Amino acid sequence: MKFSSHIAAITQSIKWRVFFYYTLLHLLVISLLIAGFHTYEKQSRIRSRTSEMQELAMRYMPLFFAPGHQGPPNGRGPAPPPPPRIDTRQLKEDVESMEHNGFFLAAIDHDAVVKFRSPTWPTSLNAPPIPEGKPSSITEMPGWILYSHQTAQQDRVIIGTSSVALEQEVRHLTVVAGAIGAAITVITSLVGMLILRFSLKPISMISESATRIAEGDFSERIDTGSQRSELGQLAVVLNKTFSRLEAAVQRQVQFTADASHELRTPVAAILADCQYSLKRERPPERYLETIEVCHESAQHMKSLIESLGALAAFDSKDALLNPTPIQLEDVLLQARQITEPLAALRSIALEVDLQPVQLIADERQLSQAVINLLANAVRFNRPNGTVSLKCWTEPTMACIEVADTGIGVPHELQDHIFERFFRVDPSRSNKSGGSGLGLAITRTIVEAHGGNIHLTSELGKGSRFVIRIPLRPVLLD
């Protein structure tokens, strides 16, 4: 099992596959080279041998056959010249020295009469056939090479030699070349393996890092090494992706922690009071108090859950906007009406200054965004304060302003005020009754409309929120 999985790992590994094909290709090239070398070497040796043989044949030919000898005498024409005088002693010496060099010779005239044959001529070897229309021919036979030269009268001189030694030499050379080729193959394969390992190292590093990230260690990053290589660039891109993932997960974790934090206090209040009331019998008015605690806490949790749901829907892009042409001032008047009771409860005056603005937007969502602002303006106002609601148009934008005469937001906190669960005073959650998500929801809605929201605030004097939304919808996603 383990062995077969090792085999599978090797056969499927890019490194081993590249290595295998690379080595195979290398072997093929080396083999072809050696085969070529073998053929070339053999041919060139045969050629040099035959040129020697040709020389010998040319030298001996006139010794056996007179030049211009016209074949069989036919009684007419000039008398045939006398057969060449052979200096037999000289010839013998010559032939002996030639034979000593591994050659043998035969002279056959046109009547197939063997005029001379070296004593070393192998008995098993017959004379090659007469070459047709050519003065010379080379015949290769197993173990022998014969060179035959003939005159016009078909008198022949045949020089032969053994090719065994030549073939053996070539074979030896080929074996040596093969050994060198094998050595080169081994060395280049090893070097190739090292190069492969080196160039594929980023891949294994990427894979190791990705594994650790998959196991949950989001802080893990790939060592990018050289950023110019293709893999280095891949590593940089992956690292960027991991960073964004980590940030997203971190936000999610923080959001969940914040949400559970917000839910803890109301649940603690319910638990404490219920456990008090259930411990032993209490007067009826105390039970009523417990029910009130439960009711209030449940209301608080309900608004929190609704707000969380709204944000989660925006996060997952479930809350698609439903843009229709709207009269902004009508929507704002409705929002004012909804906030009126809360304002009256805290003796806050709600002033409006609305110009007619026609706009394409999601009426319900935009109304929610403004209600959140108005509710905050009332909650964080001073007693008998004022909240003003205005709208107007700029060349391409619809503008909504909500201003209050409340406590204001310290300058250093103004950047954070739109963050989820952010509160200027962390403990105000219970008294203000808000979920800590109102401004985050408002900003999400405004941005979904392609708009923006800005806060200008002076501590102790009040805050002023301005929403700007494009008159023509530039809806995101």
Please give the full DSSP string across 133-170, using - where no structure is assigned: S-SEEEEEETTEEEEEEE-TT--EEEEEEE-HHHHHHH
The count of chain residues that interact with another protein, using the rule CB under 8 A, is 27
The stretch among 127-135, 169-177, 261-269, 338-346 that binds another protein (CB under 8 A) is 261-269
Query: Mask: binding to another protein, 426-465, rule CB under 8 A, as x and -?
Result: xxx-x-----------------------------------
Binding residue for another protein, selected from 109, 155, 262, 329, defined by CB under 8 A: 262
Q: Does 25 bind another protein (CB under 8 A)?
A: no
Residues of this chain, 400-429, that bind another protein according to CB under 8 A: 425-428
Minimal distance, residue 18 CB to another protein, in Å: 49
Distance in angstroms (rounded) separating the CA atoms of residues 181 and 184: 5
Q: How near is the Cβ of 266 to another protein at its closest, in Å? A: 8
Which range in 92-100, 140-148, 187-195, 274-282 contacts another protein by CB under 8 A? 274-282
- In terms of CB distance, is 254 or 355 closer to another protein? 254
Q: How distant, in Å, are the alpha carbons of 406, 410, 420, 466 from that of 376?
A: 10, 16, 14, 14
Under the criterion CB under 8 A, does residue 14 sit at the interface with another protein?
Answer: no
Distance separating alpha carbons of residues 186 and 271, to the nearest angstrom:
78
Q: Provide, rounded to whole angstroms, the least separation between the CB of residue 413 and another protein.
A: 16
Q: Is 270 in the site for another protein (CB under 8 A)?
A: yes
Among 27, 125, 269, 305, binds another protein (CB under 8 A): 269
- Is 454 within 8 Å of 442 (Cβ atoms)? no
Tell me whether residue 31 or residue 275 sits nearer to another protein (CB atom).
275
Q: Which of 264, 302, 317, 346 binds another protein (CB under 8 A)?
A: 264
> What minimum distance in Å lies between the beta carbon of 406 and another protein?
16
Euclidean distance between CA atoms 65 and 86, whole angstroms: 10
Closest CA to 463 of 412, 399, 379, 406: 406
Contacts of 130 (CB under 8 A, 6+ apart): 148, 150, 154, 156
If we measure between CA atoms, which residue out of 353, 391, 376, 395 comes closest to residue 440?
A: 376
Rounded to whole angstroms, the Cα distance separating 358 from 126 reads 117
Q: How far is the CB of 291 from another protein (least distance, A)?
A: 12
* Triad 45, 46, 49: Cα angle to 5°: 90
Distance CA 397, CA 376 (A): 24
Q: Pick one of 108, 293, 321, 350: the residue that binds another protein (CB under 8 A).
A: 293
* Segment lying near another protein (by CB under 8 A), choices 15-23, 73-81, 136-144, 260-268: 260-268
Q: How far is the CB of 293 from another protein (least distance, A)?
A: 5
Cα(242)–Cα(210) distance, integer angstroms? 9
DSSP H or E run through 293: helix 284-315
Q: Tell me if 279 contacts another protein by CB under 8 A.
A: yes
Of 264 and 416, nearer to another protein (C-beta) is 264
Q: How far is the CB of 272 from another protein (least distance, A)?
A: 4
Residue 276 found at the interface with another protein (CB under 8 A): yes
Integer angstrom CA distances of residue 324 from 207, 366, 441, 468, 471: 50, 11, 20, 17, 12
Tallying the residues shown for the chain, one arrives at 477
Any long-range contacts for 223-232 (C-beta under 8 Å, 24+ apart)?
Answer: 229/202, 231/199, 231/202, 231/203, 231/206, 232/202
Tokens of 248: 């997203």
Q: 226, 275, 324, 358: which one contacts another protein (CB under 8 A)?
A: 275
Give dist(CA 34, CA 288) in Å, integer.
Answer: 104
Q: Of 196 and 269, which CB lies nearer to another protein in the complex structure?
A: 269
Nearest to 137 by CA among 159, 153, 111: 159
Identify which range of 216-224, 262-270, 304-312, 395-403 contacts another protein by CB under 8 A. Answer: 262-270
Question: Cβ of residue 431: shortest distance to another protein, in angstroms?
Answer: 8
Closest contact distance (angstroms) between CB of 381 and another protein is: 17
Shortest separation between residue 225's beta carbon and another protein, angstroms = 35
- The per-residue DSSP string of 228-290 comes to SSHHHHHHHHHHHHHHHHHHHHHHHHHHHHHHHHHHHHHHHHHHHHHHHHHHS---HHHHHHH
Query: Minimum distance from CB of 281 to another protein (Å)?
Result: 12
Do 238 and 222 meet the contact criterion of CB atoms below 8 Å apart? yes
Q: Which stretch binds another protein (CB under 8 A): 52-60, 279-287, 339-347, 364-372?
A: 279-287
Binding site for another protein (CB under 8 A): 257, 260-262, 264-273, 275-276, 279-280, 286, 293, 296-297, 425-428, 430
